[in-house]
Amino acid sequence: MKHFFSVRLLLTVFLVLSLGFAGYSMYYKIKYWGFSLSPKQSANVWDIEAHVSFTADGSPVKVSLGIPTKNKGFKILEENVTADGYQTSKYADRIVFTAKNKTGEQNLYYKIIIFDNTWGKDKLKDKSPTAPKPPELDEQKLAQAHQILKLAGQMPGNDTVEQLINLFNQEPLAPALKSYLPVQYAPKTKIEIMQELLAVAGISARTARGLKLEEGQKITPDLMLEAYIGNAWHLYDPATAKQGLPDNFLLFQRGGKSLLDVEGGINSEVKFSLQKSITSTMNLASRRANLAEKSGWFDHTIYSLPLAQQNTLKWLSVFPIGILLVVLMRNIVGVQTMGTFTPMLIAMSLVKTGFVTGLTCFVAIILLGLMIRFIMSKLNLLLVPRISAVVIFVILIIHFLTFVGYNFDIKIAQASVFFPIIITAWVIERASITWEEDGPVNAGKELFNSLLVGIIVYFVIANDYIRHFMFVFNEFNLVILFVVMLLGTYTGYRLTELKRFAPLVKKGL
Amino acid sequence: MFGWFKKFTSPTLLRAKGVLGMNARNFHVISKYNARRLYPLVDDKVQTKALALQYGVNTPNMIGVIEHQYQVKDILKMVQDHHEFVVKPAHGSGGKGVLVIKDYTDDCFTLPSGKTMSYKELYQHISNILSGLYSLGGRYDEALVEEVVHFSDVFKDYSYHGVPDVRIIVYKGYPIMAMTRLSTAESGGRANLHQGAVGVGLDIKTGKTKKAVQHNLPLTIHPDTHADLRKIQVPLWREHLLIAAKAYEMTGLGYFGADIVLDAQKGPMMLELNARPGLAIQIANGLGLKKAIKRVDKRYPSGLTPEQRIDFILG
């Protein structure tokens, strides 16, 4: 008894130590490496490439491109310039390329890697503007402007800006507005006219440019309207009148400045291409660690490994928690399953196949397999060849299901490929033996239990948050290790035993 | 919902009753008193039999062992002096793969049920045993051929088809709990309680019925033979206990279950030992094993011979 308690004590000490260690590294990783609890926040890494092209005319060239200012919505991780024969100089919100004597087609590239820092969203700060200069309009125009503002006042919207945008987007346009606008105009002009009208109403406004973060090539930046209301700049989408920074939107440039100025060239154009980077969170973290000058450890962690290895480890990192669940189900709840880790393997397959598809498919394979196994039991084959035959049958069933799935476009059937063949065959063999020895009810019960535990484990290991957590804060696997070991000293009753042994304590028996 | 909940009892009540749970059995008893290296002694019936012979414990006589597939047909030579015999897997458990042959002629074998079996079918059965069909974990196995037990008539009225045996739990050499399992029509002639066999708890001092249960519910008459279960009295009870107690010295296991059958002429015989006996015996007895274990730990002397231990229990 003494020995038993000392083991438990020792394990408890280890558990507490590992908890402390995991807790501290969690704090450290969040603070210095920028790891987050949620899988999403730091995962969005974007490669944005601005491609400036123009035809140089032989005179000295000066290209000035607006670039994203530092803001809290996004963090710039890396900047890259590809411009052969150009000198570059960078300012706060512009990058300038200069060169002498260039002729012909010119291509300049400005590339940045940013990540989405959602925490800092909507907290755009900027200098407060001076009161807007009343635009210089003739009397007739001014009267029209006032009329339009009056019309806008009747439109839905939370403030004047939203109302005005809604008025602009109304179909058909109000006659007063139609006559105010030029016959044909660019989107930029539309925003400029809005600014003009807002200035009449006494509201400072300006144009902002940004990129919607969607993967694509040759993207032109979106124009946004920014207005200063209530001591802060607010961003409005001129297409929807919605206020606020849209999700996944990189604000590139603010204020009315131009995006691209080219001297010494014609037909200038800037196109953006965006790519959601599969660069992992961890890649990001290493840069952050460098920034924070806390990279000492970093190079010695799994996060400095190549992505492929990291993905494998990520997949592995979530298993301990699944194993913990299996232990709980078996030793604390007392569920009888087929083999210790069959539920674990079922759960792993379900992750690969998707839940409903995987489950349907698994049940189909098992049922077909059982049918074949019963036919085979009449043949009285020896054990090893028989199990091998079941394995081959499972492979054939998978062939069949995949074929059916492809031809009839049933995704469910195609998922069958992902089931571990040997395990499936073994489950079939085991189920059919239990069936023969203990009857179909017991075989069904065992199958059901294994599947049930498998499903529970699936929901845990398929959860993005849990997977992310267990990989990013992988020290918690150490905690799980000691919890599992401590469970090894649990000698109390299992939940199912409370039912099994209930007759022993019933009165009158 | 609440009806379902009522089926559960509280751990406190179970503890008060001294019920041994699976976790406690594995942790406090089996892993503590049953060294792993001793398991083969009981898992392999050939070894158990050899040990029993050495310690003077009565078991059915061994006729021979078939170890390899090419020896399968040697069975005929082996049994030429016997008109009846039993074939069983050396590593089997719970009666799986046991085949009793009552008689045989030049072209077939006769089973106790009167059915016949061709030579080919018998070879097939032995072959299955060797390939591990009935062994724990499907390992390659050996087939044990031994003499048939002629069961005493005492249990005749109490069992439907199958063979009733007495299971005695031995802790530190002291028999602490006993039961007999009677097969029923529902259990299909098998002696497994969870399949519907009747479990009869036996008083450890007298070998008389203490309580009978089927599916965890008490009953007084056998559902098929209608015999009064309250009147069971296992004859030669002291001999039964002695066999069980001797198995302690034989194997060195601190906790095991001994399955004993009663032969009409030769008396009680040890059939097999189990290093991880089930816990259902508690339900059949209406008693907790933990209580019995504690009693042995506290009050029973150690260092006694099997006979002295039995005297201690009975006295």
What tens digit of pLDDT does each residue of A319-368 get? 899 999 999 999 999 888 887 788 888 888 888 878 888 888 888 888 98
Of B138, B218, B282, the CB nearest to A501: B282
Mutate to test the interface with B, among A505, A507, A509 (most CBs of B within 10 A): A505
Closest alpha carbon within chain A to B10: A498
- Identify the weakest region by mean pLDDT among A39-48, A158-167, A179-188, B217-226: A39-48
pLDDT category of residue A433 using cuts at 50, 70 and 90 = confident
The confidence score (pLDDT) of residue A281 equals: 54
* Inter-axis angle of helices A319-327 and A307-317, nearest 10: 10
Query: Does A5 reach chain B within 8 Å, measured CB to CB?
Result: no
H or E stretch at B171: strand B165-171
Contact B7 A502 (CB under 8 A): yes
Contact B127 A382 (CB under 8 A): yes
Separation of alpha carbons B85 and B100, rounded Å: 6
What's the whole-number mean pLDDT along residues A223-247?
78
Closest alpha carbon within chain A to B95: A437
Q: Are A383 and B138 in contact (CB under 8 A)?
A: yes
Cβ-Cβ pairs closer than 8 A, A with B, add up to: 90
The confidence score (pLDDT) of residue B256 equals: 96
Nearest CA-CA distance, residue A1 and chain B, Å = 9
- Structure token pair of residue A437: 């020895």
Of A334, A383, A502, the CB nearest to B9: A502
Q: Which residues partner with A74 through β-bridges?
A: A71, A116
Q: Provide, as residue numbers in chain A, all residues whose Cβ is less than 8 Å from the Cβ of B99.
A: none
Q: In A292-307, which positions are buried (b, 16+ CB within 10 angstroms) versus exposed (e)?
A: eeebeebeebebbeee
| Residue of B176, B173, B167, B174 lying closest to B292 (CA atoms) | B176
Higher per-residue confidence, B313 vs A266: B313
Separation of alpha carbons B84 and B106, rounded Å: 14
- Identify the weakest region by mean pLDDT among A42-51, A118-127, A445-454, B78-87: A118-127
Contact A492 B21 (CB under 8 A): yes
- pLDDT higher than 50, residue A471: yes
pTM > 0.90: no
Distances (CA, A) of A17 to A61, A191, A323, A486, B292: 65, 61, 21, 14, 39
Closest alpha carbon within chain B to A438: B195
Contact A499 B7 (CB under 8 A): yes
Contact B133 A384 (CB under 8 A): no
- pLDDT higher than 80, residue B65: yes
What's the whole-number mean pLDDT along residues A113-135?
58
Higher per-residue confidence, A373 vs B293: B293
Of B8, B16, B23, the CB nearest to A499: B8
pLDDT category of residue B53 using cuts at 50, 70 and 90 = very high
pLDDT category of residue A136 using cuts at 50, 70 and 90 = confident
pLDDT category of residue A443 using cuts at 50, 70 and 90 = confident
Contact B23 A491 (CB under 8 A): yes
Backbone angles phi, psi at A155, to 5 degrees: -80, 155
The DSSP result for B63-85, as a single string, is: EEEE-SGGGGGGHHHHTTT-S-E
Contact A489 B217 (CB under 8 A): no
- pLDDT higher than 60, residue A295: no
Contact B21 A491 (CB under 8 A): yes
Nearest CA-CA distance, residue A444 and chain B, Å = 14
Closest alpha carbon within chain A to B28: A491
- Quote the radius of gyration of chain A (alpha carbons, Å): 33
Q: Provide, as residue numbers in chain A, all residues whose Cβ is less than 8 Å from the Cβ of B288.
A: 504
- pLDDT higher than 90, residue A232: no
Query: Does B218 reach chain A within 8 Å, measured CB to CB?
Result: yes
pLDDT category of residue A230 using cuts at 50, 70 and 90 = confident
The confidence score (pLDDT) of residue A211 equals: 77
What tens digit of pLDDT does each residue of A275-288 get? 765 455 555 665 66
The confidence score (pLDDT) of residue A122 equals: 43
Q: B86: alpha, beta or left, given left = phi > 0 and alpha = psi -120 to 50?
A: beta
Q: Are B116 and B122 in contact (CB under 8 A)?
A: no
Q: Provide, as residue numbers in chain A, all residues whose Cβ is less than 8 Å from the Cβ of B27.
A: 4, 488-489, 491
Q: What mean pLDDT, rounded, does chain A reach? A: 79
Mutate to test the interface with B, among A4, A484, A500 (most CBs of B within 10 A): A500
Contact A382 B24 (CB under 8 A): no
Dihedral, A276, A281, A283, A284 alpha carbons, nearest 10: 80
Nearest CA-CA distance, residue B64 and chain A, Å = 22
Query: Does B10 reach chain A within 8 Å, measured CB to CB?
Result: yes
